[in-house]
Amino acid sequence: MWTFVGRKRRKVWLWLAVERASRRIVAWVLGSRGTATLRRLWAALPRRYHRHTRYFTDQWRAYRQVLPAGAHIVGKSGTRVVEALNGKLRHRCGVLVRRSRSFSKCRIRHEWRIKIAIDQHNSEITLH
């Protein structure tokens, strides 16, 4: 999902890695929509998710360059969990709403606000 810092021309992409069974966010990064940011997400993933895991994505070309080919599954049916979570995060965190008057002028504060929303989501998951 994209967001912006300062102006809408300064798009920043929020990349999420979600455990489908629990709907817990296991890693996330902010950056461009390119391969370098996906590599940062891959590095942020806990090691146990690097093997014996399936990765459900859309058809963005960066996924083919970073994710293991045998474990990478392309299609909308696998990304529904992430799309639902995007909606929940947009509802909870004003800076993630596309047409919002709430925005961050500073990238660091922007990350803090998103981190708070993600931490809140994950704490709700572990409480239930």
Query: Average pLDDT of 85-104?
Result: 76
Q: pTM here?
A: 0.85
Q: How many domains, in total, are found in the chain?
A: 1
Q: Return the pLDDT at 98.
A: 64
Residue 99 lies in a domain: yes
Query: How many other CB atoms sit within 10 Å of the CB of residue 17?
Result: 19
Query: Average pLDDT of 5-9?
Result: 70
Domain that holds residue 16: 2-117
Question: What secondary structure letter does DSSP report for 98?
Answer: T
Q: Return the pLDDT at 55.
A: 92
Residue 83 lies in a domain: yes
Residue 61 lies in a domain: yes
Residue 124 lies in a domain: no
pLDDT of 97 above 60: yes
What tens digit of pLDDT does each residue of 10-55 get? 788 899 999 988 999 999 999 998 999 999 999 999 999 998 899 9
Amino acid type, 15: W
Decide if 114 contacts 21 (C-beta within 8 A).
Answer: no
What tens digit of pLDDT does each residue of 99-112 get? 656 666 777 888 89
Residue 42 lies in a domain: yes
Q: Return the pLDDT at 40.
A: 96
Residue 126 lies in a domain: no
Residue 122 lies in a domain: no
